[in-house]
């Protein structure tokens, strides 16, 4: 159980004002008012001084950083769901609990998936650019033709909370839902989503019209969508990624799009954020958005509320409700 009533909490990025204010009321908090991402030196300084460190996806809390952690550091309360930027094994070796914020970003991310599914086939970004550049000559019967999504097959990679939320929305647009997951969903859930399960990714990729990536980034899913996987897809396929950029081999994707091996892509995440493969920037059949799948006022507030709850429960001597159990059980 923590010894101090007001633990030292260091936060790596600007959070919603209400979240920061509540943290200041409850904890001895150190905020990042200029929102400059922490480099390794600042990360090391933080883990040396804090009882609780609150990182985000931009912070690489790897083994080298955690090797410098002070004896005080007992909790890493991540502001976000994904924890692939934290070395869980190194944290466990130091007896540091890691928490995240699951469940509160499901709807926001699923909404972004649907926005991209609509945007790419209907060429919305292309059309918007034509108007802003003053190149629209008016309506014509064959102008800016795209493809309808109703009646198409959607293949979802990763059928967790977000994947299922995408499936629910997709059915409303008349899409047939297919999915690949490490484990098949219970029959009742699968029936409710009217979803077709494929035991191998390869089998699904050859059959669907749209592919949505909704799985976590792990060593097993790194570059899951590579040149081989892209070549399995039919030429009319659209690829949507709102999960993690590292799941897609960005160079292979750029090459596939350039040769029209697939029809287009909608990307909210990138392999080397904030850098983007230069070829993607020049392709008209790609919609690029800056990692904003969970960027809603409601979502960010809910994330902050979960971070605070995890710290508070830990401070009171109990296991935090959102402890990441990988490496602990």
| pLDDT tens, position by position, 107-127 | 999 999 999 999 999 999 999
Predicted pLDDT of residue 1: 41
Catalytic member of 217, 244, 277, 300: 244
Question: In the annotation, is 126 catalytic?
Answer: no
Question: In the annotation, is 13 catalytic?
Answer: no
DSSP at 116: H
Q: List the domain boundaries for the chain.
A: 8-104+296-315, 106-288
- Identify the band that residue 328 occupies on the pLDDT scale cut at 50, 70 and 90: low
- Interaxial angle between packed helices 17-26 and 297-315, expressed in degrees from 0 to 180 and rounded to the nearest 10: 10
Residue-wise pLDDT tens digits, 149-179: 999 999 999 999 999 999 999 999 999 999 9
Catalytic member of 20, 68, 190, 273: 273
Question: In the annotation, is 235 catalytic?
Answer: no
CATH-assigned architecture of domain 106-288: 3-Layer(aba) Sandwich (3.40)
Residue 294 in contact with residue 214, Cβ under 8 Å?
Answer: no
* Same-fold call for 8-104+296-315 versus 106-288: yes
Residue 244 in contact with residue 82, Cβ under 8 Å?
Answer: yes
Catalytic member of 123, 217, 277, 291: 291
CATH assignment of 8-104+296-315? 3.40.50.720
CB atoms within 10 A of CB 265: 24
Query: With 90 as the cut, is the pLDDT of residue 279 above it?
Result: yes
């Amino acid at each position: 159980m923590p010894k101090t009533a007001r633990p030292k909490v260091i936060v790596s990025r600007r959070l919603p004002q209400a979240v920061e204010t509540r943290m200041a009321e409850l904890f001895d908090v150190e905020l990042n008012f200029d929102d400059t991402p922490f480099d390794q030196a600042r990360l090391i300084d933080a883990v040396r001084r804090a009882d609780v460190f609150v990182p985000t996806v931009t912070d690489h809390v790897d083994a080298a950083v955690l090797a410098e952690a002070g004896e005080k550091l007992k909790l890493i309360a991540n502001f976000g769901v994904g924890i692939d930027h934290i070395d869980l094994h190194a944290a466990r070796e130091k007896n540091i609990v890691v928490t995240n914020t699951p469940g509160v970003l499901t709807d926001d991310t699923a909404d972004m998936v649907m926005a991209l599914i609509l945007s790419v086939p209907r060429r919305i970004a292309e059309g918007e650019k034509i108007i802003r550049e003053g190149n629209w000559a008016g309506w014509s019967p064959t102008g800016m033709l795209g493809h309808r999504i109703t009646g198409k097959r959607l293949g979802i990679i990763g059928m967790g909370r977000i994947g299922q939320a995408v499936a629910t929305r997709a059915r409303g647009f008349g899409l047939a839902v297919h999915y690949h997951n490490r484990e098949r969903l219970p029959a009742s859930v699968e029936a409710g989503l009217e979803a077709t399960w494929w035991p191998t990714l390869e089998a699904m990729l050859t059959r669907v019209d749209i592919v949505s990536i909704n799985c976590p980034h792990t060593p097993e899913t790194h570059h899951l969508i590579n040149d081989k996987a892209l070549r399995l897809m039919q030429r009319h396929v659209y690829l949507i990624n709102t999960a993690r950029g590292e799941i897609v081999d960005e160079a292979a994707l750029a090459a596939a799009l350039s040769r029209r091996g697939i029809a287009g892509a909608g990307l909210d995440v990138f392999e080397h954020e904030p850098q983007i493969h230069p070829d993607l920037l020049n392709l008209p059949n790609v919609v690029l958005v800056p990692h904003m799948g969970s960027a809603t006022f409601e979502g960010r507030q809910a994330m902050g509320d979960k971070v605070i709850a995890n710290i508070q429960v830990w401070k009171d001597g109990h296991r935090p409700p959102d402890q990441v159990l990988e490496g602990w059980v």
